[in-house]
Amino acid sequence: MLRRILLVNALPLVMLVATLLYLDQYQNGLLEAEVGALREQARIYAGALGESAVREQDTDNPKLIPELARPLLRRLTEPTPNAQAKLYTPDGQLIVDSRVREGTGGAVTAQPLSPVAERGRILDTIGWLYDRALTLLPRERPKQIVVDENSTAQGLDWQPDVKEELRLSTSDRSREMPPYIRRLRDDRLLITVAVPVERNRHTVGVVLLTRDARGVDDSLLAVRLSILALFGIALALTVLLSWYLSLTIARPILRLATAAASMREGKGRTGAVPAQLQARGDEVGALAVALSDSATALWGRMDAIERFAVDVAHEIKNPLSSIRSAIETLRRVEDPNQQKRLLAIIGEDVARLDRLISDISDASRVDAELSRIATEAIDIAPILATLKEIHDATLAVHDPIMELDAPAEGLIVQAVEGRLVQVLRNLIANARSFSLRGGTIGLYAREVGAVVEISVEDDGPGIPDTKLEHIFDRFYSERPPTEAFGGHSGLGLSISRQIVEALRGRISAENRRDETGRILGARFVVRLPKG
């Protein structure tokens, strides 16, 4: 993770610095300034030669005198030891070279002294390496700035057959000739400009002035070293910040991953997610809290499954024990009436087992089904009206009648329609079994703030105050005395609560009372969030 953070943080910085070092705008500016100064110097030389080294045969035929031009050109270039001036005739013939001295022993060519090393070996090495790296990259320059990176010239003293020199000396003098810039094999940068020597608007020669542009490289290297120094500082800060991010993000996430692995391997529940991570106020803390809550919910679900398995085993044992006892007794009884009675008991217990297994299967599917099915906005007003119609259509003599009080529409909740209908039918059936003969079942719905409240009331004996919560426990059953034993599994209300809570609602039970506190019946209230 630290490597990835470092890469993400350092890559833009590296790209920015590489772009700054790669762009040649600064170098172009230096070269343009150098070319401008050199061209101005060449114009001065050409003007001096045109005035002092030209003789007029007549007005239309001025002639350049080499004997006059040679000492004058040498005197002009003496203050600039890193420069060389050459004078050509208009047809490209070299007549004067400022570095050539005539003597009794013949012509002598002066060699410039090697520049004094001022940068030091380390900086020279850095500059050399950097120049080598830059030669591998394509460069874009203005059209007037062209650097010959593969010049065949060995130094300042070119021969007249060098193509670029001849090109400059014989170019069209009606326009300003572009400079010739080249880099030698020893990495020196040379600039040459050509300026015509004129007298009375007649071109009598061409001055080629060449100068070593070491200052351009030195300035460019200094700027690049400054950029690299700033890059080094920024990179160091990036590394420190990346390390800090690794400590504050990557390592806590790794600790959370370790905690998740420990929970998966069942290495205990206490302190599985470090408390100091949960106490953080950032996203990592929120993730730690969410992981801890998920683990707690998972453990709660595991405990519930364990309790459910124990309850199921206990509930199944009762009818199985009854069946076993009846079968054992049946083997010893010879009275046909008693045998019929025992067979009836076995049949009732088998029916009870079948009903119990069906309800257990339904209860075990509720959570899984609701986790797969997305809730949707449902108007429960038509559902309540349909349930009343079904009740009225199946109403028998002395059955309780149903009273509905709800808006005709507009009661929107977020729910799964099939499961919500299951809850309401279960509550209505429960109220129907407890209501008095010819009594009334109340079915009411209304909006209360941000929830929709649905109430199912009966006029039965009510619920003991100590049992208002226990009636939602699995396999809890408290039926009217008139009902046969085993007619209900005791899972109806438990499944109803399971469904309502999965829909982010609440279900509760309470007793209806009059002004004197006398119980008038039971009331079950379902509260669901509005859609």
Q: Which two tokens stand for residue 399?
A: 């059955």
Q: Which two tokens stand for residue 507?
A: 């279900």
Q: Which two tokens stand for residue 252?
A: 């806590």
Provide the pLDDT for residue 451: 92
**Which of 294, 283, 302, 301 lies closest to 259 in space, CA to CA?**
294
| Cα Dmax for the chain | 164
Query: What's the CATH code, domain 373-531?
Result: 3.30.565.10
CA distance 128 to 460: 102
Provide the pLDDT for residue 142: 42
Strand-strand pairing, 412-415 and 376-379: antiparallel
CATH 3.30.450 describes domain 20-223: yes
* Burial readout 228-250 (b: 16 or more C-beta within 10 A, e: otherwise): beebeeebeebeeebeebbeeeb
Is the Cβ–Cβ distance between 446 and 409 less than 8 Å? no
CA distance 403 to 387: 11
Provide the pLDDT for residue 108: 46
Is the Cβ–Cβ distance between 210 and 190 less than 8 Å? yes
Ranges under pLDDT 70 in the chain:
1-8, 17-25, 57-59, 101-124, 126-176, 266-271, 478-489
CA distance 452 to 186: 89
* N residues, the chain: 531
- pLDDT one-digit tens code per residue, 169-213: 555 555 567 788 887 777 778 888 888 888 887 888 888 888 888
Provide the pLDDT for residue 17: 64
Residue 193: beta bridge partners? 209
CATH 1.10.287.130 range(s) for the chain read 268-372
For 294, list phi and psi in degrees, rounded to 5. -65, -40
Using CB atoms within 10 Å of the CB of residue 360, give its burial: 0 to 12 exposed, 13 to 18 middle, 19+ buried. buried
- Count Cα atoms within 13 angstroms, Cβ side, for 527: 8
CA distance 309 to 298: 16
Provide the pLDDT for residue 113: 46
Please tell me what DSSP assigns to residue 530: B
Is the Cβ–Cβ distance between 113 and 90 less than 8 Å? no
Other CB atoms closer than 10 Å to residue 469's CB: what's the count?
11
The CATH architecture to which 268-372 belongs is: Orthogonal Bundle (1.10)
- pLDDT one-digit tens code per residue, 451-490: 999 999 998 888 888 888 888 887 777 655 555 545 556 7
**Which of 471, 457, 467 lies closest to 401 in space, CA to CA?**
457
Residue 522: beta bridge partners? 511
The DSSP element (H or E) to which 109 belongs, if any, is strand 106-109
Please tell me what DSSP assigns to residue 203: E
**Which of 249, 254, 289, 250 lies closest to 273 in space, CA to CA?**
289
Q: Which two tokens stand for residue 518?
A: 């006398």
Angle at 253 between CA 248 and CA 255, to 5 degrees: 100
Whole-model pTM over 0.85: no
Provide the pLDDT for residue 478: 66
CATH 3.30.565.10 range(s) for the chain read 373-531
List, in order, residues 6 or more apart from 343 with CB less than 8 Å away: 326, 330
Provide the pLDDT for residue 112: 52
Provide the pLDDT for residue 214: 80
CA distance 492 to 358: 11
Provide the pLDDT for residue 176: 65
For 59, list phi and psi in degrees, rounded to 5. -65, -35
Amino acid at 200: N
